[in-house]
Structure 1
C-alpha cells in the first residue's frame, strides 16, 4: 500500500521530518520514493539555473534524510505546483502523496491558491499532510477514526500495512458516535464490545499490534481533533473517500472546498500529521 511514495518538496522541515520517519518503518523498506520539485516557467537561461538549483535542493534533501539512492528518483518539473503534483502522481501511480500544508481554513485556502487543498480536492490517492505549525514525532501513538464505512475499514488496512513489523507503536481505535452523550464514560469492556469497533479490533489483534479503544459521543470531526490533542497523537488516519463523479474531476466542488466535510475539518484543525486514506477505484 506504500509501494510508491511521491514527496512534493516545498522545503518545509516538518514534511521532510515526516518523510524520514515514514522511511524508517520496516514496511517501507522496499518502497520507491519520488522527490518532486516544481519550478516556474522561465526564459531558457533562467530555467537552466532554476533546474540546477532544484536538483541541488533534492540532492541536499536525500543526503540530509539518508535515503538509499537506489530507492529514490529525482523529478524537477516546470509548471504550476498544484497541477504538476497531480500529473506526476498519476504518471508514477503513487500510492501515497506526502505534502506540507499551511493548514488554511475554508475560503482562505481557495483565495490563497493552496496547493495542498487543490491536490486533496482532486486526487484519488492517499495523502499525508503535515502542517507547518506542528511538531513531528516518531510514531508511538497512531489514531484511526473508525465508523461503519468502507473508507474507515480501508484506513485501518493502510495503518496496519504501514506499521507491519514495527513494534513501537500503539493504535488507538476511535469511534465517535454523534448519538451518544459526549460526557458519557464507558468501561473498557463496553468499548471493546462496541459493534463498530469489533471487526477493527479483530484485525489489529491478528497483526499483534498494541491497541486501545476510544468510544465517545459528540460531533465527530471536532471530537476526533480534541481527542488527538488530549492523547498526544503522533499520526491521525482516517478514510477520505473520493466522492466526485468522473465527469466532475476537473471542476471545483465548492461545498468541499469550503471545508464542510469531516476530512476538510480534520486536515485543517488536527494537532498532528493527518493521513487521508483513499482507495482507488479498480
Structure 2
C-alpha cells in the first residue's frame, strides 16, 4: 500500500524531517524511496553543467541527512519543468505516495506564482503528503482522519489503518463534520461513537488495537477540520481527496481547479500540520 514513495525535493528542510518521521513508522520501514531533484531549463551549457553538479550534491546530502537504508533508496536527477516532471516521475516509478513541500499559497496566489505543489495536487491521481514551509514537523503521535461518505474517504481509512496497525505510539482521531448540524450542538462520547460514518471505522481501528477517539461536529467542514487539528495538536491530518477531473481532461489545466475551490485545497492551505491527501 505504501511500498513506493516519491520524495520531490523542493529545498524545504521540513520535508526532509517529514521523511525521517515517516521512516520511524513500521508501515514505512520497508518502503522504497525515490528522491527526485529537478533542474529547470538553463540558458547555457555551462549553467546546465553547474546546476547538474549542484543537483547531484543535493541528492547525496538528502540521502545522508535522512539516513535511508542504501538498498531502499534511488535518486533521480532530471532537467525540465518541475511541475510536469514530478507528475511524470510519479507515473514512471508507480509511486504510492508523493511527498513534497508546499508554500501554502492560497488560490489565485498559487496560480499566479506558478506553484509546483498546487499543480501536482490538481493533476496527479496519486496520494500526496504536503508539508508547508512554515510548520513544525513533529514525531507522529496524534493522527486525525476526516471522514465522509465518499469512496476516497473509505480508501483514506484503509490507508490510515494500514499505516498505524503496528505503531502503538499513535492515537487516532476519527472526525466527521456534518455541515447540516449546528457547530454549537454538543454530543456525548457515546453519541459520537455511534455516528453512522464513524462507527464502522471505529470498530475496525479497535480490532487492530489502535487507540481511537471520535469527534462529531457541525459547521463548515474545512474550517472546522483545521480548527480541530489545531485544538488537538495534531501531527498528521489525513482526508480523502477525490479526483473529479474527467479522464479526457487530465492533460488540460482547469483554471477553476487550479484556483482551488475544494475542501482538500482549503485544508492544504490552512491546516497547521502536514496534510496527507488520499486518492485511489
TM-score, scaled to structure 2: 0.97
Mapped pair 1:230 → 2:236: no
User: For residues 274 and 195 of structure 1, what CA distance do their matches in structure 2 show?
Assistant: 25
The Cα of 1:96 is off from its aligned counterpart by 0.2
User: For residues 273 and 15 of structure 1, what CA distance do their matches in structure 2 show?
Assistant: 9
Asked if structure 2 preserves the Cα contact closer than 8 Å seen for 1:106 and 1:258, the reply is yes
Instruction: Indicate the SS of the match to 1:59.
Output: helix
Asked if structure 2 preserves the Cα contact closer than 8 Å seen for 1:256 and 1:264, the reply is no
Instruction: Indicate the SS of the match to 2:216.
Output: strand
The Cα of 1:46 is off from its aligned counterpart by 2.8
Mapped pair 1:220 → 2:196: no
RMSD, matched Cα: 1.0
The correspondence of residues 80-229 of structure 1 with structure 2, limited to 5 A, is 80-229=81-230
User: For residues 260 and 62 of structure 2, what CA distance do their matches in structure 1 show?
Assistant: 33
Range with greater deviation from structure 2 (98-107 or 56-65): 56-65
User: Which residue in 1 is equivalent to 2:28?
Assistant: 28
Mapped pair 1:41 → 2:41: yes
Unmatched 5+ stretches in structure 2: none
User: For residues 256 and 224 of structure 2, what CA distance do their matches in structure 1 show?
Assistant: 22
TM-score, scaled to structure 1: 0.97
Question: Once superposed, which parts of structure 1, at least 4 consecutive aligned residues long, lie more than 6 Å away?
Answer: none
Mapped pair 1:3 → 2:24: no
Unmatched 5+ stretches in structure 1: none
User: For residues 85 and 258 of structure 2, what CA distance do their matches in structure 1 show?
Assistant: 19
User: For residues 126 and 204 of structure 1, what CA distance do their matches in structure 2 show?
Assistant: 21
The correspondence of residues 50-65 of structure 1 with structure 2, limited to 5 A, is 50-65=51-66
Deviation readout 1:31-89 (Å, 9 max, x if unpaired): 10000000122333332222221111111111111111110001000001001001110
